[in-house]
Structure 1
C-alpha cells in the first residue's frame, strides 16, 4: 500500500512539474493535468484511510478522557472502534450509492473524458476496508502503552 502511495505521489509530482514547465516555458500546459491530479489525490487519500485506521493514527482530542479512570480505557477504545465502524460503513455505503448514480449518468471528466464512477467505487471500497480496520483495531491491543488493565 505504501509503495503504491509513493508511486501515486511520484506521478502527481512529475505531472505537476511537467505542467508548470510546459505552461511557463513553452506556453503549452499538460492537457488534463488538473483532472488527473484531482483523481490521483482523492485515490491517494482514500487508499491511505484503512492503514491510518488500523494503526489508530487518526487525530484525537482527549479533553475529557484524560480524567477517566485507566481501567475504562480498554472499554472506551472498543466502544469508539465500534462507533467508528458503523459511521465508516454508512459513509462507504453513501459513497457507493453516489458512485452508482455517477455511473448511471455516465459522468466523465471535462477534458480527458475519463469515467468518474470507478474512482467513486474505489473510494467506497477503501472506506469499507477502513471500517473493517476500525473494527479489528478496536479489539486489538490498546494504542496507549500506559494502560494497566
Structure 2
C-alpha cells in the first residue's frame, strides 16, 4: 500500500488505469482462474478417478510465475509493494521523500539486476532446449517473459520515484 504524504497526510494518487494495465489484469485474472480450475480438475481426477491431469503441476507453476512477473509492472506503478515500516514512521517528515527516492531507486536497481540475470539464464536454457518434464513445454520463453516484465517494473519504479520527488 502506498505510504501517505507526510505534508498532507494523504496517499499519493495512483497512475490512471491504462488499457495496457487492464489487459494485464485480465490476463493475470484469467491465469489465476485457469490455475484454480486446473487444480480442481487435478484433485478430482486424482482422488475420484485415480487419474490426475497430466502436467497439472507444470502448468500451475508456469502460470503462477507468469502472474507474479506480469503483475510486477502494475505493482511498481501503484507503489503497492509489501513494506514494513517499523522504523520509517518515526523518521522526520522532511526525510520521507528522500527515503522513498532512495528505496525506489535501490529497488529499481535490484529489479534490473534480477531481470538481467534471468535473461542470461533463459538464454542458457534456450541453448540446450530446456523443457518441462511431462509436457515438454519450452522453459526459455517464460524466462524471457519474466526478464522483460522485471525490466519494465524496474523502469516504472524509477519513473515513479522521480515523479514523486518532483512533488
Counterpart of 2:33 in structure 1 is 10
Moved over 4 A (4+): none
Gaps of 5+ in 1: 143-148
Alignment partners' CA distance in 2, 1:67 and 1:27: 57
TM-score by length of 1: 0.90
Within the alignment, does 1:124 sit opposite 2:139 as a pair? no
Within the alignment, does 1:39 sit opposite 2:81 as a pair? no
Residue number among 63, 77, 90 corresponding to 1:54 in the alignment = 77
Alignment partners' CA distance in 2, 1:112 and 1:87: 33
Alignment partners' CA distance in 2, 1:65 and 1:12: 38
Alignment partners' CA distance in 1, 2:48 and 2:85: 51
Counterpart of 1:85 in structure 2 is 108
More helix by share: 1
Q: CA deviation at 1:63?
A: 2.9
3-state SS of the aligned residue for 2:94?
Answer: helix
Question: Which structure would you say has the larger RCO, counting Cα contacts within 8 Å and 6 or more residues apart?
Answer: 1
- Count of equivalent residues: 143
Residue number among 51, 57, 74 corresponding to 1:28 in the alignment = 51
Gaps of 5+ in 2: 1-23
Q: CA deviation at 1:5?
A: 0.8
Cα RMSD of the aligned pairs, angstroms, is 1.5
Counterpart of 2:91 in structure 1 is 68
Alignment partners' CA distance in 2, 1:61 and 1:20: 37
